[in-house]
Amino acid sequence: MSNTAIPKSNQMPVGSVQCENTSLNLLKANDFVAKAIRERLADICIINICSSPGSGKTTLMQETGKRLGKQLNIAVLVGDPETERDAVRMREVGINALQIVTGGMCHIEAQMILQALDHINLDNVDLLFIENVGNLVCPAAFDLGEDYRVTLLAATEGDDKPKKYARMFLTSELMVVSKADLLPHVPFSVDAVTKDAREVNPKLEVITISSLNGEGMDEWCAWLNDKVEEKKASKIKQ
């Protein structure tokens, strides 16, 4: 399980200091709501999926549903500034999905998740994905009550993102290098991006995948199954 003792909004790179600013009260309130979400969904493993726009989050969710839909009961809360297109794509492969329209906001906040819980049936759900708004900056500061944060980084984006957007990788448990089928065609080094990411967060796990040709999908699905089982085991111990 992830360490929930320190809210994600308070985690900072080594040697940094957080100055007083007007967002602190907002983040404290967000952390309070995130705690309420964890308590309400204590039986469900929650994965917050973050990335830049176009990294392949929705396609990965679709392929995950196809592969694990008979093993796990999966639901998805999808965040976008506008439209319901991604939720429709989820439903097309049989995944229970609800769209959260942020109305132009660049991230999902915990209060949005709490409101959405009244509009989606999560009975007997094992795994809840929160597909965050495409952005490597704002979502990093907002704990959504998740057990794990996963950040996708597409091979087409360049391998210099972990240190440019350090907080996102610092607060994630897993980095997924997506669109691996394009690696032979783009100047992207998995070794270099992994090195940079682990200098930011030494505990970060890394999986390289392609939702199109299936590379790494077995490893990804195994990781998810392990996290669901860990959540169930921790609940039994309580």
What confidence tens digit (pLDDT) does each residue in 162-200 have?
999 999 999 999 999 999 999 999 999 999 999 999 999
Residue 4 domain-assigned (yes or no): no
Question: In terms of Cα–Cα distance, which of 106, 192, 24 is closest to 206?
Answer: 192
Residue 107 domain-assigned (yes or no): yes
Residue 190 domain-assigned (yes or no): yes
- CATH number, domain with residue 136: 3.40.50.300
Question: In terms of Cα–Cα distance, which of 68, 34, 96 is closest to 222?
Answer: 68
According to DSSP, the residues that pair with 153 across neighbouring strands are 177
Residue 134: what pLDDT? Answer: 87
8 Å CB contact between 138 and 104: no
SS3 122: coil
Please write the tens of the pLDDT for every residue from 135-156: 999 999 999 999 999 999 999 9
Residue 131 domain-assigned (yes or no): yes
Indicate the number of domains in the chain: 1
pTM over 0.75: yes
SS3 175: strand
Question: In terms of Cα–Cα distance, which of 38, 48, 46 is closest to 238?
Answer: 38
**Cα dist. 124→43, 74, 127 in Å?**
9, 9, 9
> What's the sign of the alpha-carbon dihedral 204, 225, 151, 105?
negative
Question: In terms of Cα–Cα distance, which of 60, 93, 100 is closest to 78?
Answer: 100
- For the residues of 5-54, what is the DSSP string, one character each? SS-GGG---TT--PPP-TTHHHHHHHHHHHHHHHHHTTTSEEEEEE-STT
pLDDT band at 238 (very low <50, low <70, confident <90, very high): low
Give me the mean pLDDT over the 196-225 stretch.
97
Residue 60 domain-assigned (yes or no): yes
> How many CB atoms sit inside 10 A of residue 222's CB?
11
Please write the tens of the pLDDT for every residue from 74-83: 999 988 766 6
8 Å CB contact between 147 and 48: no
Residue 38 domain-assigned (yes or no): no
Distance CA 238, CA 228 (A): 16
Question: In terms of Cα–Cα distance, which of 236, 231, 59 is closest to 148?
Answer: 231
Please write the tens of the pLDDT for every residue from 43-76: 999 999 999 999 999 999 999 999 999 999 999 9
The domain containing residue 47 runs over which residues?
43-230
pLDDT band at 102 (very low <50, low <70, confident <90, very high): confident
Give me the mean pLDDT over the 204-219 stretch.
97
- The alpha-carbon radius of gyration of the chain (Å, integer) is 17
Give me the mean pLDDT over the 1-16 stretch.
59
Distance CA 141, CA 107 (A): 9
Kindly state the percentage of the chain with pLDDT values over 70: 88
Average pLDDT, the chain: 89
Residue type, 225: N
Residue that has been written with the tokens 């995130």 in this structure: 34
Residue 18 domain-assigned (yes or no): no
Give me the mean pLDDT over the 213-231 stretch.
97
Give me the mean pLDDT over the 200-205 stretch.
98
Residue 195 domain-assigned (yes or no): yes
Residue 10: what pLDDT? Answer: 66
| Residue 213 predicted with pLDDT over 50 | yes
pLDDT band at 20 (very low <50, low <70, confident <90, very high): very low
